[in-house]
Amino acid sequence: MNCAISGEVPVEPVVSKKTALLYEKRLIETHISDYGKCPVTGEPHTIDDIVSIKTGKIVKPKPLHTTSIPGLLGSFQTEWDSLMLTNFPLEQQLHTARQELSHALYQHDAACRVIARLKKERDDARLLLSEAERQLPAAPEVATENVTISNGKRAADGGEQGPDAKKMLLGISAEVTTELTDCNAALSQQRKKRQIPPTLASIDQLEKFTQLSSHPLHKTSKPGILRMSLRPEESIHCCLSWHCCFRYKSIPNGECKSRMEPSQDTSRSIRYR
C-alpha cells in the first residue's frame, strides 16, 4: 500500500479515521498543521483523527537505474537538466526585474529634474509678479451703479439726475493710467541703467562732514536760497535769495563785501562777469 500524498510505500504509515486513507505520518502531520484538512477529500482534520499502523520493518528496494554507474550518471543528468529548466525562468524574471528597476530609477530622476525646473519657473514668475505689482499704480475705483451724490441722493440707472443734483467727478481714466504706467516703467529702466559717478561722495564720507562756518544773513519770511555762484580761486561766492543778493569776499570768514537789493521778486539767476 502506498501513501496517498507521495505515492510511495510509507515508512511510518498512518490511517485517517474519517477517510480511511493511508498516509506517511510526517507528511500528513505537516499538511494538517498547515491547512487543517485532508489533502485528498478536503474534510477538516486534526492530529487526533489519524491512527498509527504497526507494521514490520520495510526495506525499500533500490531503483534499477541506481544499481549501476551509467544509471547514476543518467539520473544526475536528469536532475541537472531539471535544475537548469527551473533556473532559466528565474534568470529571465531577474533580468526583467532589473530592467524595470532601472527604468523606474530613470523616471524618478527625470521627475525630480522636472519638479526642480518647475519650482524655479514658479519662483521667477512670483518675483516678476511682485516687481510688476510694485511698479503698477493703484487703479481708481469707479462706481458704476447706484452712485451716491454729495447731497445724499442716488443717481438713476440711466445716469439722469435732478436739477439740484451734483455730478460726481470720476478719477483718472484708464488711458491716462496706462500712459503713466508706461512712462513709469521706461523711467525706471533708465534709472536702473544709470551708473553712479565715481566722484560722488559715499555715505561714510558724508557722515564725516563737519560744519566749518554759518552765515545766517537772509530773512526767513521767504526762506530758501535760489541760486549760488562760486569763484574758488578768489575765495568769493554769491548767493541769491528772495529779498536780496550777498557777495562774500572770504568763504571761511564770512566777510560780506557787498549787498544788492533785487529790482523784482522774479530774479532767479546769478552770474559773475
Would you say residue 99 has pLDDT above 70?
Answer: yes
**How many percent of the chain have pLDDT more than 70?**
62
Per-residue confidence (pLDDT) for residue 125, from 0 to 100: 93
Would you say residue 111 has pLDDT above 80?
Answer: yes
Per-residue confidence (pLDDT) for residue 144, from 0 to 100: 45
- The 10s digit of each residue's pLDDT in 163-186 is 454 554 556 788 888 999 999 988
**Complete DSSP assignment for 120-169:** HHHHHHHHHHHHHHHHSPPPPP---SSPBPTTS-B--TTS---TT--PPP
Beta bridge partners of 16: 50
Q: Where are the alpha helices (DSSP H) in 136-260?
A: 174-193, 203-207
Residue 106 is inside which H or E element, if any?
A: helix 69-135
The whole-angstrom separation of Cα 33 and Cα 46 is 8
The whole-angstrom separation of Cα 64 and Cα 58 is 18
- The 10s digit of each residue's pLDDT in 207-231 is 888 877 776 656 656 656 666 666 6
**234 grid coordinates:** 578768489
Torsion sign across C-alpha atoms 173, 175, 178, 184: negative
Per-residue confidence (pLDDT) for residue 61, from 0 to 100: 65
The whole-angstrom separation of Cα 194 and Cα 75 is 95
The answer to whether 155 and 161 are in contact (CB under 8 A) is: yes
**Helix 69-135 crosses helix 174-193 at what angle (to 10 degrees)?**
110
